[in-house]
Amino acid sequence: MVMVQKLKTVTLYQDFKEDKRTSIDIFSDFLETYLLKFINESYKIYRFQPKIPSIINKLPDKINLRMRAARYIGYPLQAKKSQGEINHIMEEGYGHLLYTLDPNRTVVSVHDLIPMLAWNNEIPGMTYSHRPRLAEFSFKALSRARKIIANSHSTKNDLIRLCNINPDKINVIYQGLDPEFHNVSINNKQIPRQMLNFPDCSTHLILITGQQEYKNHKTCLKVIEGLQEISRKPVQLVRLGRKTMNWDQQIKKANLKNFPICLQNLPRKEVIEVYKAVDCLLFPSWYEGFGRPPLEAMACGTPVVTSNRASLPEVVGNAGLIADADNVNELTNKVNRILTDDVFYQDLVEKGKKRSTSFTWESTVKQLMHVYESISSS
């Protein structure tokens, strides 16, 4: 009689689609895709996405009541019925599912602890008007997990310091880059500039990304002002990210000779062309749980100037330039060297391209499989 081996189910607990957490959705999609591609044949992957119960859907959306009830009441009730041999919660904001799921077979991916850090005034540019008690409730449950996957050593240290997590429970596994970035051909910048209707190569293009206050755009604008004074070429700022009231106010106060080119909601292929078109990514963020834009820029052959905060030094390594997030002169000088020293520029291009190849989803998933195996074997 032939014995049929029972497959072990790995349940991936997604966010509500109504959350519209794009970065987490992208992470989840890639994780599932590469797990299906590389995971041991004795496992099967089940993606669970919760639905807002009809009774909760009738609640008013005032003070976000509907989504709060869905997250903290509806989801735990649904999650309990869909457990696998291994449960994997996709992000820390749903850590409270550990009160319902069997913690001994549950893994949680942690991307950042921004609510706690901001409440503790540890992230410049971010303030909370009230204590984030629901986030604290979710984060407090993280210590129950069998394993935690931190996306950087910086995030691991935050977990130990703020959530009192046993370091032995935490595995640092870097996220992979979108494969499209690993196949970028580096060519003359004039080609993508023409495609995007950007100024030609007689103008320096400096890119900044994001819209959150902790991205430190105020300092970026001061750097651009400084570059305008010392550069022989015109300097043009390019920004990828949604417009905000704060950004509009900062632009009015800034002394820029050229109004910034502001882009948002671009398809991935156009984002790659933007990276290829610019001369430098300026990314002096005050905080990042991981920090994908510097890696994306380096993969596209664009040098990076970033800050010495949080995860950024460990992600960029020696392939980019690092400065204090608040030191305008240091940041300005580093960007200026990239713009004026062709040999140095090319060295950074080559180092950055090599560095970016270390971050693949295949590597991410293979490390994660070892975590799954350690749980299922015991």
Beta strands in the chain (DSSP E): 8-13, 43-48, 86-89, 106-110, 147-150, 170-172, 204-209, 235-240, 261-263, 280-283, 304-307, 321-323
Does residue 302 form part of some domain?
A: yes
Residue 265 in any domain: the answer is yes
Q: For residue 168, is it within any domain?
A: yes
Cα gap 319→330, rounded to integer Å: 17
Judge if 183 and 167 occupy the same domain.
no
Mean pLDDT, the chain, rounded, equals 94
244 plus 280 within the same structural domain: yes
**What pLDDT, on a 0 to 100 scale, did the predictor assign at position 63?**
76
Maximum C-alpha span of the chain: 82
271 and 322 assigned to the same domain: yes
Helix axes 245-253, 217-230, angle to 10 degrees: 30
- The answer to whether the beta carbons of residues 378 and 346 sit under 8 Å apart is no
Q: How many domains does the chain have?
A: 2
Task: Please give the residue range of the domain that contains residue 325.
Answer: 179-357
Stretch 292-303: mean pLDDT: 97
Place of tokens 């909760």: 56
**2 in any annotated domain:** no
The closest of 240, 239, 212 to 224, measured between CA atoms, is: 239
220 and 292, same domain (yes or no): yes
Please check whether residues 332 and 294 belong to one and the same domain: yes
- Flag whether the pTM goes above 0.85: yes
The CA–CA distances, whole Å, from 205 to 49, 52, 65, 225, 258 equal 41, 45, 44, 13, 11
Domain shared by 220 and 307, yes or no: yes
pLDDT in tens, 230-282: 999 999 999 999 888 889 999 999 999 999 999 999 999 999 999 999 999 99
Answer yes or no: do 45 and 188 share one domain. no
Give the residue-averaged pLDDT of 188-200: 94
Instruction: Give the domain CATH number at 353.
Output: 3.40.50.2000
Same domain, 167 and 189: no
CB-side exposure of 232: number of CA atoms within 13 Å? 5
Domain assignment present for 309: yes
Radius of gyration of the chain (CA): 22
* pLDDT tier, 82 (very low <50, low <70, confident <90, very high otherwise): very high
- Tell me if 335 is assigned to some domain: yes
Specify if 1 maps to a domain.
no
Cβ 171 vs Cβ 109: under 8 Å = no
Each residue's pLDDT tens digit, 147-175? 999 999 999 999 999 999 999 999 999 99
Indicate the pLDDT class of residue 39, thresholds 50, 70 and 90.
Answer: confident
Q: Same domain, yes or no, for 225 and 334?
A: yes
Do 165 and 217 sit in the same domain of this protein? no
Same domain, 310 and 237: yes
pLDDT given at position 5: 60
Together in a domain, 102 and 222: no
Residue 3 lies in a domain: no
